[in-house]
Structure 1
Amino acid sequence: MSSMDIGIDLGTTTVIIYCKDEGAVLSEPSVVAVKRKTEEVVAVGEEAYKMLGKAPDRLEVIKPMSDGVISDYSATEVMIKFFLQKVFGGSILKPRVCLCVPSQITGVESRAVVDSAVSAGARKVYLIEEPVAAALGAGLDITHPNGTMIVDVGGGTTDIAVLSLNGIVTKHSIKVAGNKLDDMIIKHMKDFHSLLIGEQTARQIKTEVGCAYPREDDKEVLVRGRNLLTGLPQQITVGWKEIYGAIKDPIDEIVHAAQQVIERTPPELVGDVFENGMVLTGGGSLLHGLDTLLTEKTRIQARIADDPIHCVARGTSMAFDYLDKLYDGFVDTGIKMK
């Protein structure tokens, strides 16, 4: 590892570690599996994710991150330690670590993130707000007095901001994103088909036929689960129109949040945003038609960034170049390992 400065996108769904010189060096699910009685760690990341919905009673499969913040501190510490060890191996030097956090994270939540990273072996820890990291990772120039709008749709949160002159002018964060869409699909299948499905199946349905704007095709997907009435396995075919209706409410919340940010933005910067458009990042931005819907509802041209899934992680790794430049959105915690 040539660089000891790394950026970590500590996402609700996926942890991505990015080194500026080498790109993404790790991308694994935010999942930890432990033994219930002894709390001994059995698996982390990809191996633990394979156990979701399939683990025996003696094992507990934990998602340490919920809605973009830590819900299980010990599991988060274990997860970060495991991933840092996997990336850095037996390196004697400890890395400086920059982690992204939702734009409306509380002080207590921020401290928990920092403590976990320090306990995991970081030499020094910085925090950067997700919209700023996403903008940097998407290649946007936020140094000029020219308004730039970013919409980062992750797993647990959607973070929206207008940036200018190295700072955040207006911002909003809602706990509605990819995981909420999965939950709505699970609920829909249960309520309308009496079919119980898991998170992995819901995510597959979302990926294959989910949409935020009406599709022009008749795409369908085969769904397998357990019938709640008979208790037996069942498979049905579901089309995009059904899933479109199932996830419409959370999609509307994302659109409304974007409209709120625009309404609170100074008129001069709104003009800039209208000219420059808004940029979508995060895995949720790949939902079919989300860019089209935002364009229609806000009258601002929306486009998906190149490699949107890695934008936040890439921007987080780039943040070390902006330590003395950003007016806000970037926090030096001042914590060092002795």
Structure 2
Amino acid sequence: MFQNIQIGIDLGTANTLVYSNTKGIILNEPTVVAIDKNTGQIIAFGHQAKKMIGKTPKSIEIIRPLKEGVIADFDRTTELLKLIMQQASKKLGTALRKPSVAICTPSGATSVERRAIEDAARQSGAKEVYLIEEPVAAAIGSDLPVHEPVASMIVDIGGGTTEVGIISFGGVVASNTTKAAGDSMNEAIIMHVRKEYNVLIGEPTAEEIKHEIGHGLVPHEAEQITITGRDVVTGLPKSVTLSSVEIQEVLRESLETILETIRATLEVCPPELSGDIVDHGVVLTGGGALLKNISEWLSTVIDVPVHLAPEPLHAVVIGTGKTVMPKFKRVKAAK
């Protein structure tokens, strides 16, 4: 017997998570697909496809269908959502037939970008599509009192974008978005290693460097990591050792851009809510929130307490799942 199960989806640039109102988080996969160029078919997605980055023959192309928080390849996003729905069905042990789906959207998304998300979800099999802004979902997932007349400030550092939002009475009072986020940090590391060491590395290696020795802009005990890439001159494999101090400088531009986005949001915050932020502080969510010392650095430069959400990586999708469905903006299918 089929069940119309309501699910929440955090369709992120880096990862896609699915939340069921019966079992919690049931899926967490990288937003990556592997395409067979000869047939145009998806041959792998998620973790399986991510493992293939930089290791495939010319007949296979690895694609990230979302860039900077929005859909870059509509058809591939739709196909990916279909596969995710199928995986969710297996995890739930039942068939998902025309479920009601809630999906997060960036607070700065245009009507066209929102419509693309709606259409992709509907074409993947959703009966009804509801939209919720990412800062609101992140705040709910962080157990903040979003429906009370108290300001809650969220900084969601994702893969493609960083979303900064001040929420009160269940809505976004002020928000800003920047493209300085996880992907821009990875790109900066790749460019640095190429420029300083004449070595080419891929995104997975840059991600590893960031996780292992990346730090916020505060003094720390130096760390090192040895990585291997391809020498630009000889074409042969070459190992180099990087220090956390130099990587800290590499990340400076992205981090300072995030800081300016936070400041710009605070500057337009209504005066009556500013006191709440000073009292309760700022909450960090998203993968970028796991960068070492980032909360300590931010609390120093904005002179406001900065806290890490209980589950930074899952806050958005948990918030999506916890939100009462009727409070979403309902999107009706075009006739």
Tell me if both proteins adopt one fold, taking TM over 0.5 as the criterion: yes
Task: Give SS of 1:18's match.
Answer: strand
Which of 316, 320, 323 is the matching residue for 2:326? 323
Contact 1:146 1:165 (C-alpha < 8 Å) held by counterparts: yes
Deviations 1:124-183 (A, max 9, x none): 111111100000000111111111111111111111111111221111111111111000
Within 2, Cα distance between the matches of 1:92 and 1:208?
Answer: 39
Within 2, Cα distance between the matches of 1:72 and 1:141?
Answer: 36
| 2:306 alignment counterpart | 302
Question: What displacement does 1:93 show?
Answer: 3.2
Task: Give SS of 1:226's match.
Answer: strand
1:38 partner letter? T
Larger CA deviation: 242-251 vs 215-224:
215-224
Contact 2:4 2:100 (C-alpha < 8 Å) held by counterparts: no
Deviations 1:220-278 (A, max 9, x none): 11111011111110111111001001110010000000001101101111111100111
| 1:143 alignment counterpart | 147
**Superposed counterparts of 1:142-221, under 5 Å:** 142-221=146-225
Larger CA deviation: 213-222 vs 49-58:
213-222
| Alignment RMSD | 1.6
| 2:316 alignment counterpart | 312
Question: What displacement does 1:94 show?
Answer: 2.3
Which of 266, 272, 281 is the matching residue for 1:268? 272
Within 1, Cα distance between the matches of 2:316 and 2:167?
Answer: 15
Task: Give SS of 1:229's match.
Answer: coil
Within 2, Cα distance between the matches of 1:147 and 1:127?
Answer: 22
- Alignment CA distance shift 1:2-1:278 (3 Å): farther
Within 1, Cα distance between the matches of 2:246 and 2:309?
Answer: 28
TM-score (norm 2): 0.95
Within 2, Cα distance between the matches of 1:144 and 1:193?
Answer: 53
Task: Give SS of 1:323's match.
Answer: helix
Q: Which runs of 5+ in 1 are unaligned?
A: 325-329
Question: What displacement does 1:2 show?
Answer: 8.0
| 2:34 alignment counterpart | 33
| 1:55 alignment counterpart | 56
2:214 partner letter? G
Q: Hey, which bits of structure 1, 4+ residues long, moved more than 4 A?
A: none
Q: Which runs of 5+ in 2 are unaligned?
A: none
**Superposed counterparts of 1:52-91, under 5 Å:** 52-89=53-90, 91=95
| 2:21 alignment counterpart | 20
Contact 1:64 1:73 (C-alpha < 8 Å) held by counterparts: yes
Within 2, Cα distance between the matches of 1:71 and 1:287?
Answer: 27
Within 2, Cα distance between the matches of 1:281 and 1:92?
Answer: 29
Task: Give SS of 2:56's match.
Answer: coil
Contact 1:12 1:68 (C-alpha < 8 Å) held by counterparts: yes
Which of 230, 234, 238 is the matching residue for 1:226? 230
**Superposed counterparts of 1:108-123, under 5 Å:** 108-123=112-127
Contact 1:20 1:314 (C-alpha < 8 Å) held by counterparts: no
Task: Give SS of 1:182's match.
Answer: helix
Within 2, Cα distance between the matches of 1:178 and 1:214?
Answer: 19
- How many residue pairs get aligned? The number is 331
1:156 partner letter? G
Task: Give SS of 1:212's match.
Answer: coil
Within 2, Cα distance between the matches of 1:284 and 1:148?
Answer: 19
Contact 1:279 1:303 (C-alpha < 8 Å) held by counterparts: yes
TM-score (norm 1): 0.94
Contact 2:285 2:308 (C-alpha < 8 Å) held by counterparts: yes
| 1:327 alignment counterpart | none
Within 1, Cα distance between the matches of 2:286 and 2:22?
Answer: 21
Contact 1:142 1:165 (C-alpha < 8 Å) held by counterparts: yes
Task: Give SS of 1:254's match.
Answer: helix
Question: What displacement does 1:88 show?
Answer: 1.1
Within 2, Cα distance between the matches of 1:92 and 1:150?
Answer: 32
Which of 95, 99, 104 is the matching residue for 1:100? 104
Contact 2:282 2:307 (C-alpha < 8 Å) held by counterparts: yes
